Copies of this chain bind each other. A is one copy, B any other.
Amino acid sequence: MAHSHMISLSLYVLLFLGCLAQLGRPQPRLRGKTQCDIQKLNAQEPSFRFPSEAGLTEFWDSNNPEFGCAGVEFERNTVQPKGLRLPHYSNVPKFVYVVEGTGVQGTVIPGCAETFESQGESFWGGQEQPGKGQEGQEQGSKGGQEGRRQRFPDRHQKLRRFQKGDVLILLPGFTQWTYNDGDVPLVTVALLDVANEANQLDLQSRKFFLAGNPQQGGGKEGHQGQQQQHRNIFSGFDDQLLADAFNVDLKIIQKLKGPKDQRGSTVRAEKLQLFLPEYSEQEQQPQQQQEQQQHGVGRGWRSNGLEETLCTVKLSENIGLPQEADVFNPRAGRITTVNSQKIPILSSLQLSAERGFLYSNAIFAPHWNINAHSALYVIRGNARIQVVDHKGNKVFDDEVKQGQLIIVPQYFAVIKKAGNQGFEYVAFKTNDNAMINPLVGRLSAFRAIPEEVLRSSFQISSEEAEELKYGRQEALLLSEQSQQGKREVA
């Protein structure tokens, strides 16, 4: 977001969203090159619902052409309190925004250490400092279960707490699970980037579950309306082969496959005791800064590849807090972005996001997305949105409401005006440093063009060209007040 080496010649020199260029770095993206002949966009709610024991997964119908053009799918997940989303991995990166609630996220990164410890429920309050010398002993030599568990607490990889306003990155091929240990339902929305380079399968999302037999809805197959009863990946293997591999009894393998498990993808897990470093507002901020700094050093100064390990990868960031805004107009609203400057791994995934809050009747300056598609989900409130294609045709003109999604393709011109209640949204973008070009205001294309060129282009007078160029002093977010103020003067 910082903008260096630029000479501040005038008041019009401003920091700008994503204007830090990626010169010299290739942008490896080749999206749905098959079909982008968009005649009409839609503001949609989810089309398919997959309820489970302690949650609900909803999918948007990705047969709509704008999904194919953008190479994305979209889903919304609700996890009830004490609900556990079963461990699974996906063939596509998921970029999640937490709309409501709080939870714990587990991401398994193979080869990384089990750096967290928990104690089993039955040992709650028991021996907390097992003798270290005993750990190295062979498991076979232990007396029994009791003795074994006394010797060492349960170990596992890092757990990450998240909350409303966070973005989370779920890496493709990495096992994920989520637990809602809060008191309110956990609601998340997610972009599934099926056209992502990391996905070497076809343009359809797939989930591979390690447990349960969840109904599937991701991908176009699920969108045909047929709910498919999938099974977990253990189901396909022979019992004896698995028992040999795990070195356990056949009856445990039967439970692993769980053929009669009807709980779905999110199950009730009443008594889950997960130990996390105590969370507080004060602690969170410094920790995040430190992580970021560490990465900056690794990437920028000497990118010899050795100090970069997935084990300490940063996978989340809060973009809901007002104080983190990147663009702010006290009369019109604020915008917070998260890009590869804030979460470095986004440069591999070529994704970024923008959290916007437009105040009542404020206007987001008409603009186009220079290097990304945008999938905008309405968190709260409503807005009137118009989208125009390269022929000057209006491909969308409607009110969008809470819970709806609209995909605006790259280059298409768009204008948004918040309703009376204001307008809150999160927009996912298919570039790690998404740029927009506004048509109005202090950062507009018109400001950059000589007045004389505008005069000849539009066959207007100098005065009119000047009004077009300087009629708005605000930048991206335009207030209603300012407009009226100008009118009174004019």
Contacts and interface: CB of A to CB of B under 8 A. Distances in A.
Interface in A3-34: 3-34
Contacts of A10: 113-114, 135, 155
B173 A371 contact: yes
A43 interface: no
A347 B26 contact: yes
Contacts of A2: 306
A150 interface: no
A221 to B, nearest CB: 9
Contacts of A170: none
A272 B310 contact: no
Contacts of A366: 237, 242, 245
Interface stretch (A282-290, A317-325, A432-440): A432-440
A99 B93 CA distance: 38
Contact of A348 (B27, B115, B154, B372): B27
Nearest to A26: B28
Nearest to A115: B9
Interface in A178-203: 179, 195, 197-203
Nearest to A22: B348
Given A30-B197, A306-B4, A450-B154, A345 B23 contact: yes
A342 interface: no
A278 interface: no
A308 to B, nearest CB: 4
B115 A7 contact: yes
Contact of A113 (B13, B394, B472, B473): B13
Interface in A446-483: 447-453, 456-460, 462-464, 466-473, 478, 480, 482-483
Contacts of A457: 84, 86-87, 177, 210-212, 267
A411 interface: yes
Contact of A200 (B244, B365, B373, B490): B373
A140 to B, nearest CB: 4
A5 B84 contact: no
A86 to B, nearest CB: 5
A120 B452 contact: yes
Contact of A308 (B11, B24, B411, B467): B24
Interface string A268-301: 0101111000000000000000000001101111
B486 A247 contact: yes
Most B C-beta atoms less than 10 A away, residue of A136, A154, A200, A252: A200
Contacts of A244: 363, 417, 478, 480, 483
A24 B22 CA distance: 12
Interface stretch (A73-81, A160-168, A254-262, A419-427): A254-262
Interface string A229-251: 01111111110011011111100
A274 B20 contact: no
Contacts of A129: none
Interface string A353-396: 00000000001011011111100000000001011111111110
Nearest to A174: B370
A177 B207 contact: no
A349 to B, nearest CB: 9
A139 B482 CA distance: 11
B453 A272 contact: yes
Contacts of A467: 246, 248-249, 252
Contact of A448 (B36, B114, B209): B114
Contact of A201 (B114, B341, B411, B413): B411
Contacts of A172: 370-371, 411
B33 A435 contact: no
A69 interface: yes
Contacts of A341: 305
Q: Top 8 closest A-B pairs, CB basis?
A: A16-B111, A231-B392, A236-B388, A28-B28, A19-B111, A300-B304, A21-B310, A173-B370
Given A26-B348, A201-B411, A269-B456, 16 more contacts: A5-B307, A25-B347, A25-B348, A30-B30, A35-B202, A108-B445, A173-B371, A200-B430, A211-B458, A230-B390, A230-B391, A234-B388, A244-B363, A246-B440, A247-B483, A301-B304
6 contacts: A7-B115, A26-B350, A33-B195, A84-B456, A108-B445, A272-B453
